[in-house]
Amino acid sequence: MNPLLDTSGLPRFAEIQPEHVTPAVEQVLADNRALIARLLADEAAPTWDSFMLPLEDANERLSRCWGPVGHLNAVMNSPELREVYNANLPTVTQYFAELGQNLDLFNKVRALHASAEFATLSDARKKIVENDLRDFRLGGAELPEEQKARFLAIQEQHSSLSARFSDNLLDATNAFEKVIEDEAELAGLPDDVKLAAREAAEAAGKPGWLFTLKAPSYLPLMQYADNRALREELYRAYSTRAAEFGKSDWDNTPLMAELLKLRAEEAGLLGFNNAAELSLATKMAESPQQVLEFLRELARRARPFAEKDLAELREFARAELGLAELNSWDVAYASEKLRERRYAFSEQEVKQYFPEDAVLAGMFRVTETLFGVTLRPATAPVWHADVRFFDILDAEGQRVGQFYLDLYARASKRGGAWMDDAITRRRKAGDIQTPVAYLNCNFSAPVGGKPATFTHDEVITLFHEFGHGLHHLLTEIEDLAVSGINGVEWDAVELPSQFMENFCWEWSVLQGMSRHVDSGETLPRALYDKMLAAKNFQSGLATLRQIEFSLFDMRLHSDFDPNSGKTVLELLAEVRREVALLIPPAFNRFPNSFSHIFAGGYSAGYYSYKWAEVLSADAYSLFEEMGVLNPEAGARFRREVLAAGGHRPAMQSFVAFRGREPNLDALLRHNGLVDEALEAL
């Protein structure tokens, strides 16, 4: 049997081959289209059981067939898999686009909404029907027939271009290698970073030390290498990936222009003024203007701190490092040296206290204490030998969720860190289907026979992705379309992930999840105090950087005309003149690698990181009041936020948890942006 057609349990990763993809997709799509034809031919009044449920079953079967293919394409990319994925992507996209355009299906949902049965449905099912009505309108169901074909073509072309954007970035990243044979050129680099580079060179059959543009290789070099020319060389390579300076086939510049034109055209067909308005139709924020005002207010609050951060950094670089001019390839290096000077510790020193096993045990302990669950290792078919699998059990010992953990970077894996759903909780034939999540990171693998060790930033990243996982896994909703992360507004979906980050700064948590990789000692209180003192080091600059990306994204999709002759880079320069203090060199091509908005679903939505940070900081303030690991507060967060899924608006879930609507104060306080910013008002 084709393993992709077996959707009865966990994906059969060990058996899935590229040749399975096309037959499985064709089979499921044919079955689904036959079912839709039967549903539309039924002249009886639509009910939940006769109409909504069969459609949900069919579409879940497709997601359970296609989902593992997309996942493997992201984590075990190969020429054969990429080819078959890209060949089938337009077919799958076309199916969902046709579904959204189907006026007869839309009318069936409208009839159910208008029926007497609707009043008897659960809140979750009412929300699903209401979301479907909205999504049919946004899917073009009410468009004239002559416009539907164009709308469908836009969907297919958009998905293909987004996939190409991601492929180009992966290929451009993998294409760069820097081999260094003289160890003197590596002065300043920590021993474990050099060891990883040495092992990489040996694996590639090359002498010396091999560096790449993958994060575990690139970031430490930029942070620690005394060799300024080497930093500049790698910075230039990294910041020009997938641009016109490299292989023309990998240049994302024309793809960005085409994607923006398609998004603007799609929005216009649906009656929106711009792509941002269309994007916000399913989010908490009400308008592009509201988002822009939020970002600019936050920028105004952060700017005094950012100006102070930069002045200090430039003066330190001049006086202590002999850098008359602070260039982009100097910033991470000078910042680390200033941090070491001011707080008397380095990130490399901290990293030795966070071996992988201690970090995982500590994160699991926080989860078990707060949410009344137990986590334990389990077994499942996996896609790589490094991948692990875990069960989550409730207080009665019943399994409520499962997740895969894929922590290390490799050439076949796209960059960044992310969570994705494999299986969603729902009631099916009287039983509850166990939700399953993928948790993916790009950390350094173990080297030299020691456990992998994580920087504190990587610990925060792991907690962040685990928060997304808990949102998906601890849901108590039994209807798929609003279960877990489904149906949650995009600008609220970061709430649980950013909420979990806060625990990475608590002494009661860190002392229980640290163990020096050599001595076995726990994190010293004195070092923790230094870390805490440095927590908001350069937070003003970091905040402005996030606002720069968010403003650029929102303006790109609200007031930028891709047909005007103005370029994406010109708009970015305009945004930087408004909010940025650190301006990259002219050759920098940041947009060409901005996967979040061009290939990752965050178009006109990147602001949601800051938007949700307001929610998460305010939510965490209750734990600051009641106790960091307070089970009562944890149970409340689980019940009102994690368990609630998307069955009600996210603001209602927040108010149910916190007792009021959120405000900006907790975020400003957490980021150390309070006193001077308030005085500057």
Residues serving a catalytic function are: 465
Q: Are 355 and 517 in contact (CB under 8 A)?
A: yes
Identity at 127, one-letter amino acid code = K
For 53, other C-beta atoms within 10 Å of its C-beta total 15
What the block records as the tokens of 316 is 């330190």
* CA neighbours closer than 13 Å in the CB half-sphere of residue 208: 13
For β-strands 418-423 and 436-443, DSSP reports them as: antiparallel
Measured distance CA(99)–CA(40) in Å, rounded: 12
Burial of 601 (0-12, 13-18, 19+ CB in 10 A): exposed
Instruction: Please name the residue that has the structure tokens 């949900």.
Output: 56
Measured distance CA(180)–CA(651) in Å, rounded: 53
Nearest to 587 by CA among 264, 246, 158: 246
Q: Is 124 left (phi over 0), alpha (psi -120 to 50) or beta?
A: alpha
Measured distance CA(554)–CA(276) in Å, rounded: 7
Sign of CA dihedral 536, 537, 540, 545: negative
What the block records as the tokens of 421 is 């759903």
Helices 525-533 and 328-343, axial angle in degrees (round to 10): 130
Task: List CB contacts of 534: < 8 A, sequence separation 6 or more.
Answer: 339, 342, 343, 345
Q: Quickly list DSSP for 166-182.
A: HHHHHHHHHH--EEE--
Nearest to 360 by CA among 193, 512, 518, 520: 512
Q: Quickly list DSSP for 575-626.
A: HHHHH-SSPPPTT--GGGG-HHHHTSS-TTTTTHHHHHHHHHHHHHHHHHHH
Instruction: Please name the residue that has the structure tokens 């602070």.
Output: 326
